Amino acid sequence: MAGTSELQVEIVAADHFVWSGAATMVKARTSDGEIGILPGHSPVLAILAEGELGIEPVDGGRFGVAVDGGFFSVDSNRVVIVADNAQLTDAADSANAGIR
């Protein structure tokens, strides 16, 4: 289980695995607006809007994942994202999309 200073993140699309690992932050666009998830976040279940997820892995750096919708859940420092379609984007694309 993740320590209190990290999130265990799993991202899958309807037809393929995208990414899993430890992260310090996850940002997502939901049907109600943008949300940021840090370790210790209260449980939540939300509908993803089309856009880009921002992920900060514990080993440093940042990257993005373009999603076409889906949902994500947070519970006990575990973030599970199930997207209709998802694709990793490169660092330049993430910077241009405003992921910080």
Per-10-residue mean pLDDT for the chain, 100 residues long?
78 95 97 96 96 95 96 96 92 42
Residue 94: predicted pLDDT: 42
pLDDT at 91: 54
Total-model pTM: 0.83
- CB 60, CB 41: distance < 8 Å: no
User: Strands, DSSP E only, in the chain?
Assistant: 7-13, 17-30, 33-37, 44-48, 51-57, 63-67, 70-75, 78-83, 86-89
Domains defined for the chain, CATH in brackets? 7-96 (2.60.15.10)
The pLDDT of residue 74 is 97
